[in-house]
Amino acid sequence: MLQMIRAPFLSSIIAPIVTGSLLSARMAGSFGLFEFLLVLITGLGLHIAVNVYNDIYDTLQGTDKVNVHRNEYSGGSGVLLDNPDLIKRMYWLARSGLIIALFSTAGLMFFVDRDLWIYLWGLYLISAFFSKYYTAAPVKLAYRGLGEVSVWFAFGPMAIAIAAISQSVFPTNQILLLMPVSGLSTLSILLVGQLIDLDADKQGGKHGVASRLGTLPTAVFYVLAQMAIITFVILMALLFEGSSWPLLIALLPYLLIFPKTALLILKHHGNPEELKKVARMTVQIHLLLSLLLIVGFIIYL
């Protein structure tokens, strides 16, 4: 089951939910533990639905079948390719994620200010739409060049916003500064995956940044996205109220890992085998950034 839901990538939703909740708690002067648990369940349910639906429809539509460069960081889980009889269970998992998120969102209504309900449900509905139609027909966002926008939006602004709302804090300037970071980090993983899966994506009609712009522009886009993360973290440390310098510890992977990663992706942007190393390093940066940003906010709190 862990392989089906692609459990290692759930950090992409855990990090913004935790950091968004911690920042909102500091602003509100209190931390709603039960509200945090409910919004975390909501985020996890929706992310599980995204991961499972993505595998289902990429397999049914042929993209995963022609991918010869699948690895633990891109190309899907491969569960359905090896075990096609599991498709009913996969559908059940995806739908269960949406239902669990639905009930936890409903539970949040008892704790969230009434005037924020419309935003709470708006975020749930948009997330549920993204979870299925990121790859499913007739919308197929990832096949129409809209996958990158939806990934950044879902794992950045939307995740931070629902975390803030769960603490009855409407997004402020400080929340807005935090919003892009986690989305850009997840987007970076997607961009490397697109470079690795480029041939399969083209055959399957999945047109993202890499298939539309080429490998070198995508590599440059990747580097710029990572540099934007650095910029936003520095801005938070400089502009947040109080002693916000502990947030800078989140930049440690950008001192230790990113310089080599940037050189590798710019040099080997057209070589899938070399790019698998970049994918591994990108996930390492993502995980360390997520963990250290949480630690930084705990200290800041």
Domain CATH code at residue 241: 1.10.357.140
Tokens 């250290």 -> residue: 292
- 8-state DSSP, 169: -
Distance CA(150)–CA(131), nearest Å, equals 10
CA atoms within 13 A on the CB side of 105: 25
pTM for this prediction: 0.91
Distance CA(149)–CA(244), nearest Å, equals 29
Position 200 pLDDT exceeds 80: no
Q: Mean of the per-residue pLDDT values for the chain?
A: 89
118 exposure class (CB count in 10 Å sphere: 0-12, 13-18, 19+): exposed
pLDDT at 26: 92
How many domains does the chain fold into?
Answer: 1
Q: How confident is the model at residue 253 (pLDDT cuts 50, 70, 90)?
A: very high
- Interval 271-289: pLDDT, tens: 988 999 999 999 999 999 9
- 8-state DSSP, 222: H
Q: What is the mean pLDDT of residues 187-199?
A: 91
Q: Domain range spanning residue 27?
A: 2-300
Amino acid identity, residue 178?
L
Distance CA(225)–CA(219), nearest Å, equals 10
